[in-house]
Amino acid sequence: MKRSIRPRAVELSRRQFLIRSGVLGAAGLTAPQLLAACGGDDDDTSAPSPTDAPSGSSPSAGGGGDTLFFENWPAYIDPTEDGLTGTVDRFMDATGIDMRYSEAFNDNVEYFAKIQPVLGRGDTIEPDLIAPTSWMVGRLISLGWLDTLPIDQVPNAVNLRDDLVNPAWDPTGEFSLPWQTGFAGIAYNLDVTGRELTSVDDLWDPEFAGKIGALTEMRDTIGVILLSMGVDISTLETFEQAAPAFEKLEQAKADGQIRRFHGNDYFDDLSNGNFAATIGWSGDVAQIQLDNPAVRFLFPESGATSWADAMVMPKGAVNRDAAAAWMDFAYDPVQAAQITAWVQYVSPVKGVREEVEKIDPELADNPLIFPDEATLAATRSFATLSEDVEAEFDAAFSRIIGA
């Protein structure tokens, strides 16, 4: 549909111009492709929307034919709209590969529950690529529900950030390739709070009773609270070490402080003022600000959690070549910079900063996107828990957040 001018479009037009001129030059597209790319701008309704949830009616699982199918988190890629050609469309134009992209992830546990009955029985699920969070990747590897990635067909994989090579969750590095990494901290709506927030403890201010949210992602919610209590989450070994955060959260819930636990679905509540503040993800705030500029992200002084979501191929995924082509495309710093400029997370791809600088120099100086030493020093990633301890954490957490 034709939308009239809105702040978002105005805001975009500058960036979009820079992006498009940069992309077309750098990717060396031929004239017909260029025309196609420009033509796509005008009918933005017929262009594949990045948000089509899986609609396959065929009971037969397994990715359809030769369409590459990627299930990812919401607001996690630059979309095709308002005259901007998103990465998915640029990929299709550049390679001729048909691709379906959906935002099916809301929460790792929930997504796992969807695929478990299928993969657990040895059947294949529809998507060729999914992007669970690192700890879930570890679980899927240990359950034997993943295929190795065709890394040898991904020359750009050499651009992987050094600190992400052979990570703890995938020691051989053959099952996963990170999509984005980032931080969890406090997201808040200045109109509702009436003041800038300064610490995690602001979440427990009685003034915000019933207007506080928290992520259903245990490692981020418990992690941020534990860090505010001075506990190092990267060295956790037993449940007892984390128990105070669970008690704090349980108490806040009992007091009616917590309005809702949420997955990636908190944009609406935060932007329209139902949430004063919530534990949220750094890049999301950039998206919410498009709707409501009063939304802010606080990187707590006590520390933020850092995480990574990684692309993996579920067992039996058929479109391996197309998946390799996609990963190669996404690991081209020029393309990765487009994604970064939009999602504003920390890219796992080396050389993105230089490319982002060409698009928007301000972004290149944002420590949430290109973290400096001080920022990195204040972030911790959650320890890899042993099977039994993890079960204990999960049970305690799901008892609090679970219905």
| Binds other proteins by CB under 8 A, chosen from 200, 222, 258, 363 | 258
Are the C-beta atoms of 303 and 382 separated by less than 8 Å? Answer: no
Residue ranges of the alpha helices (H) in 344-383? 352-359, 361-364, 373-377
Q: In sequence order, what are the beta bridge partners of 185? A: 280
Cα gap 182→168, rounded to integer Å: 17
Nearer to other proteins (CB atom), residue 161 or residue 315: 315
- The piece of 83-91, 103-111, 170-178, 316-324 that touches other proteins (CB under 8 A) is 103-111
| Binds other proteins by CB under 8 A, chosen from 21, 35, 67, 120 | 120
Q: Does 385 bind other proteins (CB under 8 A)?
A: no
Rounded least distance, CB 376 to other proteins, Å? 30
Rounded least distance, CB 302 to other proteins, Å? 24
152 DSSP 8-state letter? G
| Binds other proteins by CB under 8 A, chosen from 67, 238, 251, 398 | 398
- Count other C-beta atoms under 10 Å from residue 161's C-beta: 16
Nearer to other proteins (CB atom), residue 198 or residue 272: 272
Nearer to other proteins (CB atom), residue 205 or residue 357: 205
Rounded least distance, CB 142 to other proteins, Å? 9
| Binds other proteins by CB under 8 A, chosen from 354, 365, 376, 399 | 399
Nearer to other proteins (CB atom), residue 62 or residue 351: 62
Nearer to other proteins (CB atom), residue 111 or residue 299: 111
Nearer to other proteins (CB atom), residue 156 or residue 257: 257
Nearer to other proteins (CB atom), residue 199 or residue 272: 272
Q: Does 290 bind other proteins (CB under 8 A)?
A: yes
Rounded least distance, CB 45 to other proteins, Å? 5
Cα gap 293→189, rounded to integer Å: 9
128-144: b (≥16 Cβ within 10 Å) or e? bbbbbbbbbbbbbbeee
Binding mask 3-42 for other proteins (x = CB under 8 A): xx-xxx----------------------------------
276: closest CA among 266, 291, 289, 265?
Answer: 266
Residues ≥6 apart with Cβ < 8 Å to 113: none
Nearer to other proteins (CB atom), residue 291 or residue 357: 291
Rounded least distance, CB 167 to other proteins, Å? 22
Rounded least distance, CB 347 to other proteins, Å? 22
- Count other C-beta atoms under 10 Å from residue 350's C-beta: 17
Residue with tokens 């710093």: 333
- Count other C-beta atoms under 10 Å from residue 31's C-beta: 7
Cα gap 88→94, rounded to integer Å: 10
Q: Does 43 bind other proteins (CB under 8 A)?
A: no
- Count other C-beta atoms under 10 Å from residue 220's C-beta: 23
Alpha carbon separation from 326 to 82, 186, 258, 286, 357 (Å, rounded): 24, 33, 40, 25, 24
334: closest CA among 95, 117, 91?
Answer: 91
- Count other C-beta atoms under 10 Å from residue 111's C-beta: 20
Residues making contact with other proteins (CB under 8 A): 1-4, 6-8, 45, 48-49, 51-59, 61, 74-75, 103, 106, 109-110, 112-114, 116-118, 120-121, 123, 125-126, 139, 143, 192, 209-211, 253-254, 256, 258-261, 263-265, 267-268, 271-274, 290-291, 387, 391, 398-403
